[in-house]
């Protein structure tokens, strides 16, 4: 059945028609042949019985007077009947008295004693008793030819075969014409369905052939198409609206972005120019303070010298602040030198440059597993690690200080981290630490600093399209996390 399932409907219908007519025909033919052959055989047997009766009657005297030759002569008369294959006469004792035709098992005396009128099960043999005045004096056996029977079966078989072929052909022609009534609407519907799905054109409609189940199906299909069409057009409309709005917003955003970039640039330029120009007079103040201290050393008392030294320290500090500002503003203006960089090398370089300080501070640096190679600006990323390590080392009051530098798998990008067991940062300050010149502690506490380090780190990370954040438990330690997007 499996193979039949995959046949086209057209062929299925034809096959059904052919098998039905063919099956019925074969059965009818077989029944016809069976009944005809049975009837014919019964007629033949009856005919044979009558003939045997006559022969038996003609053999009475021959048997009574032991005239075998007379019995043989009687049997020889059967030559006129070509349908008689063989015949035999037995006397009352079962002895074969005379025979005619083919010899065979049929002439066994035991058969002669078989029941009166007995017919051989498979053949056309008939026994009849020879009775003389109520006394059985012998038996006559006649065997009819099966040729006619076989011939009849052959002719019938041939007839049925011819009729089978002819009607098969006729039903094939009929079925091939009539199957269209059933298959055509299905094929039409399937064709429409395919066209709809291929061309996405929901305006198509299947044509209804009649008011039968197929017609209902076509109606249902069409109403489904109608609904889809409605929804499709609504969807298209909504999509157009959405696209238009997205475009509007995008345009708006791009505009804002441009404005923002412009103002950023202006701000950077301003900071650069301002800080550059600020350095000039600052240098003058510092130089003149230095002259005063050297040239008027004899005229100044200890307090005057102390105040001048403070003035010089403040100008130096002012200079570093301006340098930081300059550096920061430059970060926003210069292009990054992106290259493939082995972070292990960078970290090694950073730690190397900080080796003396680390030793002084008795800080242990751990790198649990090798860092990857990423595309980034070598010097800037070195600055990130340098700043974070210095911070970690600086804001630590523990007797055994340690810093861990590592990488973990993020959702999309590797996440680098620098962890310490330092003083920690309370949650409310998590944003403030990145603000420029924002210091959480007194200037002289924890070794001082300009307060621009984390701001610069954040700027570098952002220039790498990355993100920076931190986790911290005050008193236990801080972990800074950051990502770097490779293609910047």
Partner 1 sequence: MAVLRRLPALLLFAAALATAPAASRAQVAGEYDIKAAFLYNFTKFVEWPPTAFFDEHSALNLCVLGEDPFGRSLPEVLGEEAAGRKLVLLRIGKIADPTVCHVLFISRSERRRLPQILAAVRMFPVLTVGDTPGFLDQGGIVNFTLEGSKVRFEISQAAAERTGLRISSKLLRLATRVAEEGRPGA
Residues that bind partner 1 (CB under 8 A): 54, 58, 60-62, 64-70, 73-74, 76-78, 80, 97, 132-135
Q: At its nearest, how many Å lie between partner 1 and the CB of residue 101?
A: 14
Beta carbon nearer to partner 1, 63 or 388: 63
Cα separation, 52 vs 140, in Å, equals 7
Q: Which is nearer to partner 1, 2 or 133 (CB)?
A: 133
Name the minimum Å distance from CB 76 to partner 1: 6
User: Min. distance of Cβ 21 from partner 1 in angstroms?
Assistant: 51
What's the min distance (Å) between Cβ of 132 and partner 1? 5
Nearer CB in complex with partner 1: 66/313? 66
- Residue 67 Cβ vs partner 1, minimum distance, rounded to whole Å: 5
Cβ-based nearer residue to partner 1, 109 or 406: 109
Q: Give whichever of 129 and 466 is closer to partner 1, judged by the CB atom.
A: 129
Residue holding tokens 């804002």?
256
Shortest distance, position 167 Cβ to partner 1, whole Å = 47
Q: Map the chain to HEC letters.
A: CHHHHCCCHHHHHHHHHHHHHHHHHHHHHHHHHHHHHHHHHHHHHHHHHHHHHHHHHHCHHHHHCCCHHHHHHHHHHHHHCCCEEEEEEEECCCCEEEEEECCCHHHCHHHHCCCCCCECCCCCEEEEEEEECCEEEEEEEEEECCHHHHHHHHHHHHHHHHHHHHHHHHHHHHHHHHHHHHHHHHHHHHHHHHHHHHHCCCCCCCCCCCCCHHHHHHHHHHHHHHHHHHHHHHHHHHHHHHHHHHHHHHHHHHHHHHHHHHHHHHHHHHHHHHHHHHHHHHHHHHHHHHHHHHHCCCCCCHHHHHHHHHHHHHHHHHHHHHHHHHHHHHHHHCCCCEEEEEHHHHHHHHHHHCHHHHHHCCEEEECCCCCCEEEEEHHHHHHHHHHHHHHHHHCCCCCCEEEEEEEEECCCCEEEEEEECCCCCCHHHCCHHHCCCCCCCCCCHHHCCCCCHHHHHHHHHHHCCCCEEEEEECCCEEEEEECCCCCC
Nearest approach, Cβ of 89 to partner 1 (angstroms)? Answer: 12
Pick between residue 57 and residue 176 the one whose CB is nearest to partner 1: 57
Residue 74 or residue 171: which is nearer to partner 1 going by CB?
74
Tell me the C-alpha distance between 253 and 452, whole Å: 30
Q: What burial letters (b/e) apply to 199-215, b meaning 16+ CB within 10 Å?
A: eeebeeebebbeeeebe
Nearer residue to partner 1 within complex by CB, 47 or 404: 47
Strand duo 84-91 + 135-144: pairing: antiparallel
Quote the least distance from Cβ 20 to partner 1, whole Å. Answer: 54
Minimum distance, C-beta of residue 50 to partner 1, in the bound complex (Å):
12
Nearer to partner 1, 79 or 317 (CB): 79
Nearer to partner 1, 71 or 354 (CB): 71
Nearest approach, Cβ of residue 83 and partner 1 (Å): 16
Nearest to 231 by CA among 188, 190, 200, 205: 200
Q: How far is the CB of 105 from partner 1 (least distance, A)?
A: 22
Cβ distance to partner 1 smaller for residue 73 or 219: 73
Minimum CB distance to partner 1, residue 158 (Å): 35
Alpha-carbon span 286 to 102, nearest angstrom = 154
Query: For residues 130 and 389, which CB has a smaller minimum distance to partner 1 in the complex?
Result: 130
């Amino acid at each position: 059945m499996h193979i039949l399932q995959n046949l086209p409907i057209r062929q299925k219908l034809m096959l059904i028609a052919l098998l039905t007519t063919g099956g019925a025909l074969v059965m009818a033919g077989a029944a016809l042949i069976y009944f005809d052959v049975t009837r014919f055989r019964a007629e033949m047997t009856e005919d044979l019985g009558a003939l045997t009766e006559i022969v038996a009657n003609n053999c009475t005297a021959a048997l009574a007077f032991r005239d075998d030759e007379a019995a043989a002569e009687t049997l020889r008369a059967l030559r006129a009947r070509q349908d008689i294959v063989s015949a035999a006469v037995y006397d009352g004792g079962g002895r074969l008295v005379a025979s005619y035709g083919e010899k065979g098992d049929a002439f066994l005396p035991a058969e002669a004693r078989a029941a009166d009128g007995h017919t051989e099960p498979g053949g056309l043999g008939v026994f009849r008793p020879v009775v003389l005045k109520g006394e059985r004096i012998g038996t006559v056996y006649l065997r009819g030819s099966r040729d006619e029977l076989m011939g009849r079966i052959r002719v019938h078989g041939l007839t049925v075969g011819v009729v089978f072929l002819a009607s098969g052909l006729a039903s094939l022609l009929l079925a091939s014409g009539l199957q269209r009534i059933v298959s055509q609407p299905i094929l039409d519907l399937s064709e429409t369905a395919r066209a709809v799905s291929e061309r996405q054109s929901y305006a198509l409609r299947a044509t209804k052939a009649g008011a039968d189940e197929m017609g209902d199906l076509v109606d249902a299909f069409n109403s489904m198409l109608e609904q889809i069409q409605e929804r499709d057009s609504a969807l298209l409309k909504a999509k157009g609206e959405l696209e238009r709005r997205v475009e509007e917003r995008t345009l708006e955003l791009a505009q804002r972005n441009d404005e923002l970039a412009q103002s950023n640039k202006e701000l950077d330029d301003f900071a650069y120019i301002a800080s550059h120009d600020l350095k000039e007079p600052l240098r003058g103040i510092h130089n003149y303070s230095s002259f005063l201290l050297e040239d008027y050393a004899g005229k100044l008392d200890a307090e005057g010298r102390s105040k001048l030294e403070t003035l010089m320290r403040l100008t130096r500090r002012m200079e570093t602040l301006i340098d930081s500002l300059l550096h920061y503003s430059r970060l926003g203006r210069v292009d990054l030198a992106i290259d493939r960089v082995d972070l292990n090398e960078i970290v090694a370089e950073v730690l190397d440059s900080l080796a003396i300080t680390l030793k002084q501070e008795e800080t242990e640096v751990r790198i649990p597993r090798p860092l990857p190679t990423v595309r980034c600006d070598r010097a800037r990323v070195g600055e990130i690690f340098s700043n974070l390590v210095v911070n970690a080392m600086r804001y630590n009051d523990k007797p055994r200080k340690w810093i861990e530098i590592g990488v973990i798998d993020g959702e999309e990008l590797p996440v680098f981290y620098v962890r310490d067991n330092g003083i920690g940062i309370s949650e409310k300050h998590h944003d403030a630490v990145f603000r420029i010149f924002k210091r959480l502690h007194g200037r002289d506490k924890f070794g001082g600093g300009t307060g621009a380090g984390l701001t610069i780190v954040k700027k570098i990370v952002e220039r790498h399209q990355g993100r920076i954040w931190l986790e911290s438990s005050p008193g236990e330690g801080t972990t800074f996390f950051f990502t770097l997007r490779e293609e910047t």
